[in-house]
Amino acid sequence: DQQVKQNSPSLSVQEGRISILNCDYTNSMFDYFLWYKKYPAEGPTFLISISSIKDKNEDGRFTVFLNKSAKHLSLHIVPSQPGDSAVYFCAASITGNQFYFGTGTSLTVIP
Amino acid sequence: DAGVTQSPTHLIKTRGQHVTLRCSPISGHKSVSWYQQVLGQGPQFIFQYYEKEERGRGNFPDRFSARQFPNYSSELNVNALLLGDSALYLCASSPGAGGPRSYEQYFGPGTRLTVT
Q: What are the φ and ψ backbone dihedral angles of A45, each rounded to 5 degrees? A: -115, 130
Q: For residue B104, which of A63, A36, A85, A75 has the smallest C-alpha distance?
A: A36
Mutation target among B103, B104, B107 for the A interface, most CBs of A within 10 A: B103
Compare all CA atoms of chain B with the CA of A6 and give the residue at the minimum distance: B42
pLDDT of residue B76: 98
Contact B107 A32 (CB under 8 A): no
- Residue B99, pLDDT above cutoff 70: no
Q: Which residues of B touch A96 (CB under 8 A)?
A: 94, 96, 102-103
- Residue A1, pLDDT above cutoff 80: no
Taking residue A91's Cβ as centre, other Cβ atoms within 10 Å add up to 25
pLDDT bucket at B18, cuts 50 / 70 / 90:
very high
Distances (CA, A) of A102 to A7, A73, B7, B52, B114: 9, 12, 26, 28, 23
- Residue B39, pLDDT above cutoff 70: yes
Which helix (H) or strand (E) segment holds residue B89: the answer is: strand B87-94
Rounded-to-integer distance, Cα B98 and Cα B90, Å: 22
Q: Is A69 on the interface with B (CB under 8 A)?
A: no
Q: For residue B104, which of A28, A75, A3, A44 has the smallest C-alpha distance?
A: A44
- Residue B97 CA, chain-centre distance (Å), reads 19
For B42-81, write each residue's pLDDT tens digit: 999 999 998 899 988 899 999 999 999 999 999 999 999 9
The overall average pLDDT reported for chain A is: 94
| Mean pLDDT within A96-102 | 86
